[in-house]
Each structure stands twice: as C-alpha cells, then as structure tokens.
C-alpha cells in the first residue's frame, strides 16, 4: 500500500467522524451556559446582610472574598423582596463583580419608594431572594420542535436585549418567575395525557417582558431585540435570618434528611394541610394555585375518599387528636352521598347494597371502593365501628360488581340497576381489590378475602403475555391490595408481579449523577430529563413499593435495593413539600404548609397529590423504624 493510499484510507475513516465530533462540540458550546460554583453560605449571608442594611436606608457593600468574582455582562444581581407571598420590591444591580452588583442593588433598594413605604414590622418579616445572573446563552423560540425544549424549566430565565440607542437595561424573567407566572410546561405533548406538558408560553412571556421594559405589547412587537437565556445562583433569606440564606434550585432549597421523625412530621404537615382545606360540609378545597391562593373548580369523589383514607391512616399511625373530627366530617359526607344517591337496594337473598355517587345516575366503582377503604381505615385506626353498616353495604355492592373471573364492572346505572359490562377505567379494579382486602381485615369475613384474591389473580394474570414483564400500567393499588391480603394469603405470583413493577419504576428513578445539571431531581420518577417529573406518581409508586417491600419481608425476602430506592424518593418528596423554609412565593391565602405541588415548576396543589405523597411518608417512617 502506498503512503498516499494509506493516508486516503485513514482520512476516509477518521475525517467524517472528526468533522461530526467538531460539529457536535460547536453546537454544544453554543447552547451551553457554563456556570461557576455556587456561592458558599458566608458569601450568601454577606449579600443578604448588605441588602438587609439597604432596607434601613444604609448602603453597605459586601466584602466577602467570594464576592470579588467577576460577573459576565455585569450580572445583574436581582434582589426581590418577598412579603407574605407577594413581591414587595425588586431591584437589579449591575456591576463588574458580585460585590459591586450587590452594592448597586442595595443602593437601588434603599431609595426604592415601595421599600421606604414599608412599616418596620413588615421589613423585618420580609425576605430577600437573590438571583446572581452568572451566565447567558441563546434561546430557540421559532423552531416548531426545539422551542418545546427552549429553556431548562425552572433553571433558565428569559431576557431580551433591546437593540436601540439609549435603550433601557434588558428586561428579565427570573427562572422561578417563569413558573410562578405559569409560563412553563403548559403545552401538552399528546391529547391522551394533557397533564404532561413541555415548552414555554412565549406570548405571555413577551407580554411580561414588554411590561418590564415599560412598553405596550404593540411597541414591544416592533422593538428590535435579541432574546437570551440566563442562569442564576439563587438563594433566599430564612425566616428571621436564623441560618445562612438557603440555596434555591427551581425555587426550592435542599430537603431535610430522611429520618423517621422527619417523615412523620412531613406526613402530619400534609394531613394538617388537608384538614385546613376541609369545609364544614365535609368537602375539601379540591385544587388550588399556591401562588395566587385561588381555588380551581372541580371535584372527584374517588379522590375525596382516597384523601379521607389517608387522614385515617395518619391517625392510625400517630393518634393525633385533631385529626379525628375532620375524618368523621369527610367520612359522613360519603355516607350521606350513598344515602342520597338512590343506589341502595336489597337483593332477593336479603343482602343490602349501596354505592357512592353524586348527581347523575351513573355510579363508578372507584368512588365506592375508596369509600370502603376510607371507612375501613377509620375502623382500623379507631376501633369505632359506627361506619361498619355503611361499609358493609358498599362492600356488598363491590362484590355484586365483580365477575366470576375476578374482574370488575366499573360503571353502574342507578336508574336501571344495570352494570356496564364494557367500560373499563384506570385504577378502579385495584382500588376494589384493596377495599375487599381491608373489609376482610376489619370483619374477618372470608368472602371478602376470597373475592380480593380472585381480583388480584385477575389483575396480576392480565400481565401474562409476551412482554408482560417489561410493560406495566399504573398498578399501585394492586400491590397495596396484595400486601393488605397478606394475613389471609401470600402468593409468589403477587410478589413476582410487584417486584417486577418496583424494578420497572426503579428504572425511571433518577439516581445521583444521572442528570448532572439536575441534581435536585434525584429520587424523582420520570422517563426523560426534558419533562418535569410529577410528584404524585413518585408518591403512589412509593406507597406500592413499600407494600412490595413488606410483601417480600413477610415472605422472608426483604429487598435491600427497594428500601434504598424508596428512601431516595422520599428524600426527593420531602424537598418538594411546602414549609416555612421554602414558602417565600406562596400566598398566605393558600395556607400552603404541607402541600405538594404538581411538579417543581407547577405550583398547583390537588388533594390527591398530598394524599399519595404523605401516605408514602407515614408508611416510610414505619419502614425506617
């Protein structure tokens, strides 16, 4: 082979790869925002001390060594003064170093009319949240697909440089403002799952940026500008300043350590949230926005029942006296609905049936099944059998709805007394299996246990197909029911199924190092780092995984890896829960302590989010012990 031929051969094999590699590096470097290490606690405290002095009219430049670090494009340092969940003032200080930009922000704050107008008590109560802008990068707004992933949600902010002589400073939307204003993850990926969204609401972002640059939307449209993403090192002052300011990621500080006491306190905080959102009529505030404190219309009876079950479960573990009356209030509502719904009937053999429904003539299996679970849990927790007659009638209806093969009919027409043999809905079969298992636990009536066994056999057997061990639906109730049935029967098929399901969920759990830029997501359950993980599935999966662990333990094979996965997820969920350390942007009207939002960048709370997550917490505490 000639030298020329050898070189040509090498070039053919190496050049294309080298060119593609270089191309990848260029694209990566263009879009990457490299951020410096985050400020240490003392540096953060120095920044906040300087801003706190500004509240009293004193401009004091911070002097900590870390703050001498240069700021690209002069920052800025954005200081937002939060008072009772509302922005009282916001200033942007530019400077070549963090110290200089902080001093500039302090100067602006000390002369800010809204700051001056604050009474001393309000100033003391207010908390500074600081965003040091540490890097900028381009943003893709126009590409049909890439604009869905234009910003890293909750980590990237959006700004615009106005390309006009004498133009004002760039208007900025901070990373947390992006989700507090509801700009993120609102475009559903598919109509089948409208709750899973991506992308940015650029139209509303433009409206807010125009407002910040004191232009009308029409003026903004014709303004020559260049949009950019930016990242910040964010931290918030603690209440009373008792500890150094807390580092924030997606508006949340790191969570507390996972201990039995911490989990129990977190579960009780969730229960407290639900009790505070329970009306005199026994109905919960079903859904609300934590930022505005406004309730969102809608109600779900299965979720009402599931939430009441959780409260009874917490009572069973803690015996907290303040829980009992609210549980009875919520349970009484279910009983009254079953009485008013017109579902009651007597079978020829004398058995009485009842189901829970409200309005209309169609009763669903889920409302009644979780109603039974809640009433049975109350009985387990209190030994008070006042609801047993109603629970028995409801359970008889569930038995009546069961087919001989163990499956269930899910819808029942009250006016005709006919069950729908075709419609199948998510969750209901597993919920019914749990209801029957719990009825066996409180009555000892073997009919319930046998029916629960048939139901579980059907649910687990459904997965006996070619790729059945590789794909699973939302079967968390199935595994909770399997564990509830342990006193009656343990089956290897249930353990195998739940082990497989736990492994399947474990594959979607982020572990340390999986997502280098997103360490806050460790423990969450998600399929991709590009869509925000929801808190509720992490909670419901963990409830089922605790049951799976207990199934294994009952059989003498507790799974250590499963326990580790469970505790990792519980750590993630504890960080997500709203408390005094992370409530700076929560409206007092929302009474948000103990709440769990949809996901890190959507501050909507629904009762079942709190139910599932906090149920996992209270049972997780027992797991640690």
Closest alpha carbon to 475 in 414, 426, 524, 416 = 426
Structure tokens at 621: 């505490």
Place of tokens 């509502």: 333
Of residues 187, 183, 164, the one with CA closest to residue 173: 183
Pairing of strands 287-289, 345-346: unpaired
CB of 151 to other proteins, least distance (A): 7
| Nearer of residues 243 and 528 to other proteins, judged by Cβ | 528
Residue 27 beta carbon to other proteins: minimum distance, rounded to whole angstroms: 4
Q: Which is nearer to other proteins, 308 or 524 (CB)?
A: 524
Closest CA to 562 of 570, 532, 471, 518: 570
User: Most distant CA pair in the chain: distance in Å?
Assistant: 99
Question: For the CA atoms of 255, 257, 260, 262, what is the dihedral angle to 10 degrees?
Answer: -40
Nearest to 568 by CA among 516, 506, 622: 506
Q: Return the number of the residue (213 or 232) whose C-beta is nearest other proteins.
A: 232
Q: CA-to-CA distance for 482 and 489, rounded, in angstroms? A: 9
Nearer to other proteins, 25 or 260 (CB): 25
Beta strands in 384-473 (DSSP E): 411-413, 418-420
Query: 114 vs 528, which CB is nearer to other proteins?
Result: 528
Joined together, the tokens standing for residue 361 give 């003539």
Q: Work out how close the CB of 324 gets to other proteins at its nearest, in angstroms, rounded to a whole number.
A: 47
Q: How far apart are CA 313 and CA 429, in angstroms?
A: 21
Geometric angle at alpha carbon 215, from 212 and 218, rounded to 5°: 130
Cβ closest to other proteins, residue 34 vs residue 281: 34
- Least Å distance between CB 49 and other proteins? 32
Nearest distance, CB of residue 28 and other proteins, angstroms: 4
- Distance in Å, CB of 518 to other proteins, minimum: 7
What gap in Å lies between CA 136 and CA 133, rounded to an integer? Answer: 8
The alpha carbon of 368 is separated from its chain's Cα centroid by a whole number of angstroms, namely: 27
Instruction: Point out which residues bind other proteins (CB under 8 A).
Output: 20, 23-25, 27-32, 137, 140, 144, 146, 149-152, 156, 229, 514-518, 527-530
Shortest distance (Å) from residue 507 CB to other proteins: 9
Q: In what helix (H) or strand (E) does residue 514 lie, and over which residues does it extend? A: none
If the CB atoms of residues 96 and 529 are measured against other proteins, the closer one turns out to be: 529
> How far is 46 from 61, CA to CA, in rounded Å?
9
Cα(356)–Cα(341) distance, integer angstroms: 7
Q: How far is the CB of 21 from other proteins (least distance, A)?
A: 9
Whole-number CA gyration radius for the chain:
28
Closer of 23 and 299 to other proteins (Cβ) = 23
Least CB distance from residue 352 to other proteins, whole Å?
A: 53
Q: How far is the CB of 80 from other proteins (least distance, A)?
A: 25
Residue 284 is given by DSSP the state B
CB closer to other proteins out of 508 and 604: 508
189 touches 173 (CB < 8 A):
no
- Give the shortest CB-538-to-other proteins separation in angstroms: 18
Question: Which residue, 137 or 241, is less far from other proteins as judged by CB?
Answer: 137
CB of 540 to other proteins, least distance (A): 22
Q: Can you state the percent helix, strand and coil of the chain, rounding each to 5?
A: 50, 15, 35
Residue 409 CA to residue 413 CA, distance in Å, equals 11
Q: Which residue, 128 or 228, has its beta carbon nearer to other proteins?
A: 228
Q: Among residues 272 and 534, whose Cβ is nearest to other proteins?
A: 534
Is the CB of residue 506 less than 8 Å from the CB of residue 572? no
Task: Tell me which residue of 495, 473, 481 sits closest to 373, measured CA to CA.
Answer: 481
């Amino acid at each position: 082979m000639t030298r020329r031929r050898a070189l040509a051969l090498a070039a053919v094999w190496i050049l294309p790869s080298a060119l593609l590699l270089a191309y990848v590096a260029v694209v990566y470097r263009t879009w990457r925002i490299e951020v410096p290490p985050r400020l240490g606690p003392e540096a953060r405290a120095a920044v906040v001390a300087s801003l706190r002095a500004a509240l009293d009219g004193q401009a004091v430049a911070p002097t900590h060594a870390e703050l001498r670090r240069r700021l690209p494009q002069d920052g800025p340092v954005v200081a937002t003064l939060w008072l009772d969940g509302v922005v009282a003032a916001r200033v942007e200080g530019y400077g070549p170093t963090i110290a200089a930009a902080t001093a500039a922000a302090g100067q602006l704050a000390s002369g800010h009319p809204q700051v001056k107008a604050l009474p001393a008590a309000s100033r003391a109560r207010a908390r500074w949240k600081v965003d040091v802008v540490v890097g900028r990068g381009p943003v893709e707004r126009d590409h049909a697909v890439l604009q869905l992933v234009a910003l890293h949600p909750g980590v990237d902010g959006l700004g615009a440089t106005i390309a006009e002589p004498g133009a004002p400073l760039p208007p900025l939307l901070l990373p947390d403002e992006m989700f507090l204003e509801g700009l993120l993850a609102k475009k559903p990926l598919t109509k089948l799952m409208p709750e899973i969204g991506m992308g940015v609401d650029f139209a509303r972002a433009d409206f807010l940026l125009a407002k910040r640059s004191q232009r009308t939307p029409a003026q903004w449209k014709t303004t020559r500008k260049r949009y950019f993403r930016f990242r910040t090192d964010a931290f918030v002052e603690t209440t009373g300043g008792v500890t150094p300011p807390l580092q924030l990621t997606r508006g949340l500080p790191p969570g507390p350590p996972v201990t039995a006491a911490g989990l129990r306190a977190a579960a009780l905080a969730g229960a407290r949230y639900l009790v505070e959102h329970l009306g005199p009529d026994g109905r919960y505030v079903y859904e609300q926005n934590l930022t505005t404190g406004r309730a969102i219309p809608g109600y779900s009876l299965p979720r009402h029942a599931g939430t009441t079950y959780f409260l009874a479960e917490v009572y069973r573990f803690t015996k907290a006296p303040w829980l009992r009356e609210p549980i009875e209030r919520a349970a009484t509502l279910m009983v009254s609905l079953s009485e008013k719904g017109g579902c009651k009937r007597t079978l020829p053999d004398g058995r009485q049936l009842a189901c829970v429904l409200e309005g209309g003539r169609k009763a669903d299996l889920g409302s009644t099944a979780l109603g039974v679970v809640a009433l049975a849990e109350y009985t387990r927790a209190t030994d008070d059998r006042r609801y047993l007659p109603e629970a028995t009638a409801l359970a008889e209806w569930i038995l009546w709805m069961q087919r001989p093969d163990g499956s269930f009919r899910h819808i029942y027409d009250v006016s005709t007394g006919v069950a729908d043999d075709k419609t199948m809905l998510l969750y209901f079969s597993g919920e019914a299996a749990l209801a029957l298992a719990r009825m066996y636990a409180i009555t000892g009536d073997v009919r319930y246990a046998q029916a629960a066994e048939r139901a579980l056999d059907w649910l687990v057997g459904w997965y006996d197909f070619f790729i059945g061990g590789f794909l699973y639906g939302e079967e968390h109730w199935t595994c909770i029911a399997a564990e509830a049935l342990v006193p009656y029967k343990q089956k290897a098929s249930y353990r195998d199924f739940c082990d497989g399901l736990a492994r399947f969920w474990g594959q979607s759990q982020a572990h340390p190092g999986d997502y280098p830029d997103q360490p806050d997501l460790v423990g969450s359950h998600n399929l991709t780092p590009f869509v925000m993980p929801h808190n509720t599935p992490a909670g419901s999966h963990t409830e089922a995984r605790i049951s799976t662990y207990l199934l294994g333990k009952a059989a003498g094979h507790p799974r250590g890896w499963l326990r580790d996965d469970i505790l990792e997820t519980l750590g993630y969920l504890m960080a997500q829960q709203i408390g005094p350390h992370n409530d700076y942007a929560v409206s007092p009207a929302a009474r948000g302590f103990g709440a769990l939002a949809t996901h890190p960048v959507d501050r909507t709370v629904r009762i079942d989010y709190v139910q599932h997550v906090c149920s996992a917490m209270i049972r997780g505490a027992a797991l640690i012990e």
